[in-house]
Chain A
């Protein structure tokens, strides 16, 4: 049985900087896999490689048996790789519904001609997918806000719209980029439940980059630790927590007792 996602010896070098150095790990089916590391460790770079925004200098990324590495990002999305963005890449003047419908882009066919002429096939498709968006929005508690411009929502709600949009892609793999950023303890606890619910309901692997240790240790099945672009640990949360390399990376040499 193949793994869901395999990152193999990925190296990313630009402008004289090595952002990722021979990083390898695998994500199992139905696993919640966290990538952690100090600031600048290369976590976002890794996400950008998996979703196709960056092309690695060397190494491969495979989703099941399909190699993603040289694919343009929109084709990677077609395969069902969905992600949220650290800085929230929403369209602020558009409604929640409109933003989520964008996630349905690769599942729909209406083009300029069918859309411009408002043919019945276009109208039917629109209705069907709006229905599905409503379902997913409801699942995330955004039901009342479907028509609200996203810019008017609270930060927490906007983060949920990001996740809703990613779910609207009907993902086979979900990438969450620092989903707990800016959240307090109770919001983070809700988020933890939500991520587990998504995994249980959809049965998909979830890869997340995160700084919040509580969240990571609480829900992750496996953790990969990066530091200066290199993988320094990979294992269960318990294993990683005890790993001296990891402690050194986070706390510095002086504070680590052998």
Chain B
């Protein structure tokens, strides 16, 4: 039983990280109608620069984190302003494929710099763990969970109550009227991407601290698993992103935890689990659990 609870806690904390990534997707999708395949690149950039500023430039952790997030935000802004915006009016698929090009470019560069090294992030919690109710939870995971939850809560509060948040929702819902009311579409779009960049960078931190050894090229494969999380929740639902993220995280960790029982499914099955869950959900709900069902307007 403790084994199961342990896995559940781990799953939820991983799920919270996926939720951060999925939320970034959804925000971008709702504001600019693009599926950002360069999201893993944003994550890698944030994590890479944080690690570099910490280990190479020896900056204090908090400063390195802020700078790393800043770089990710800047990249997100550049992509939106100079590429996505230039393609406004083109189909969703076309612009999304373009982001694949961005992803290839950025990830190739990061991977080139990493080489075969694993870059440690240099966080202050290292491998410290907390023992509660017979469960052992790494400190970093707790920090990640607390941070994620706090961020998600703050985001939703901001989205709901602040002027900018309302502007964003209005713009997504009814761009024409929103524009007439003075909400600058381009500003909302840029803001959406910048926020997503920040969320991705933070998720990257959570994925590269203990129990992960650090940042390595394989980290981006983990980031890819946030796609199913966003899809499961529904590409245009912020609540769905959170639910989807947690669902995928729990499913993955459970599959990993019970790997010996599931040995017949092959080694490393837990990496496929998110995609399996995604396909199952999509068969029942073609637009995800909370996504808007499309209405056929002709």
Binding site for B on A (CB under 8 A): 14, 48, 53-54, 85-87, 89
Contacts and interface: CB of A to CB of B under 8 A. Distances in A.
A245 to B, nearest CB: 29
B37 to A, nearest CB: 26
Contacts of A87: 298
Contacts of B295: 14
6 contacts: A48-B298, A54-B296, A85-B298, A86-B298, A87-B298, A89-B298
A222 B200 CA distance: 61
B109 to A, nearest CB: 36
Q: Is the interface of B mostly helix, strand, loop or mixed?
A: loop
List of 9 A-B pairs having minimum Cβ-Cβ separation, nearest first: A53-B296, A53-B298, A85-B298, A48-B298, A89-B298, A14-B295, A54-B296, A48-B296, A87-B298
A53 B298 CA distance: 8
A54 B295 CA distance: 9
Nearest to A83: B298
A10 to B, nearest CB: 17
A87 B298 CA distance: 8
B186 to A, nearest CB: 26
Interface residues of B, number: 3
Contacts of A53: 296, 298
Contacts of A85: 298
A86 B298 CA distance: 8
A79 B84 CA distance: 44
A85 B296 CA distance: 13
A106 B298 CA distance: 20
A178 to B, nearest CB: 12
A87 B296 CA distance: 14
Interface string B273-298: 00000000000000000000001101
Given A48-B298, A53-B296, A53-B298, 7 more contacts: A14-B295, A48-B296, A54-B296, A85-B298, A86-B298, A87-B298, A89-B298
Nearest to A87: B298
A121 B295 CA distance: 40
A48 B298 CA distance: 8
B91 to A, nearest CB: 13
B94 to A, nearest CB: 14
A86 B296 CA distance: 14
A14 B293 CA distance: 11
A213 B296 CA distance: 28
Interface in B237-278: none
Contacts of A54: 296
Nearest to B295: A14
Contacts of A89: 298
Nearest to A44: B298
Nearest to A73: B296
B206 to A, nearest CB: 38
Contacts of A86: 298
Nearest to A48: B298
A48 B295 CA distance: 11
A48 B297 CA distance: 8
Nearest to A54: B296
A87 B297 CA distance: 11
Nearest to B296: A53
A1 to B, nearest CB: 32
Nearest to B292: A15
A14 B298 CA distance: 16
Contacts of B298: 48, 53, 85-87, 89
A86 B295 CA distance: 17
Contacts of A14: 295
A99 B151 CA distance: 52
A191 to B, nearest CB: 21
A89 B298 CA distance: 8
B275 to A, nearest CB: 30
B237 to A, nearest CB: 15
Nearest to A85: B298
